Structure 1
Amino acid sequence: MDARRLGVGLHLPQTFLTDAASDYLHDTDFNQLTDDWAEKAYAELAEQVHGKQAPLSRVTPRPQRRPPGPCTPADAPSPRPSGPVFRLAGYLEQDGRTARRHLCPPASFWHAAPHPPHRSRRLGQLARGAEGRHRLQ
């Protein structure tokens, strides 16, 4: 929810989500994690709720198509994530924008955020979100 709220992008790499998750958990819950906690979490989040939609769906991003012609560095295609990518359900994105609008994501979010290959525009949005929350490192 925080990633979408702060403009990370529609497609959230699994590595980013997994790395960012640790500080969202209470110490008691974190200490009870098993080695396969991430696989179990993604499987549970892929199950449909409310009859039709899963909270987190694995997606295959479409390749970017550009018109023929010279390619400038600003137009160069961004690298594709190496690994599974997910999309947050629309109802959770909307709820997250409201419920978490005054909350600052934890440190693990900010440490994980620069690692996925985002477009520079998306990274700029995330940087402005960090600055607005006094995360200046």
Structure 2
Amino acid sequence: MQFANVLRKKRKELHLTQQQLADKLHVTRQTLSRWENNLSYPNLDTLVNLSEFLAVPLDILLKGDGNLMVNKISQDVRDKNKYKRYLLIVLGIIVLLFLWLSILGYGRAMQNEWIDRFNPFLRSSIWLCGTP
């Protein structure tokens, strides 16, 4: 049985309204309604509280027939790791760019000819016959 069906069935067995159960779990009635309609899923902390309150083992909540919740939670964790990796790459590029610009600025300020050679922002001019 799917998570939504188990949740709805146990709530009705305990003769609770959505609002009463939502109050016990410290969520809104609309959130509980979305869970019962398979539109969203609770986070893991709330899922544990829900399991304890309804006296339903987590196995039944998580491993129901055709239950997409486990796949959804796993996908969320994978996505979080993927975005974290992208963020680290972007931050690394920004740090390298800042470091490169700092070195070029230092070279220009100290008139370091060796660093200035690699500065693409400086104009290079060729002096022909003594005229600029």
- The structure in which a higher percent of residues are helix is 2
- The structure in which a higher percent of residues are strand is 1
Q: TM-score, normalised by structure 2?
A: 0.28
Structure number, greater radius of gyration: 2
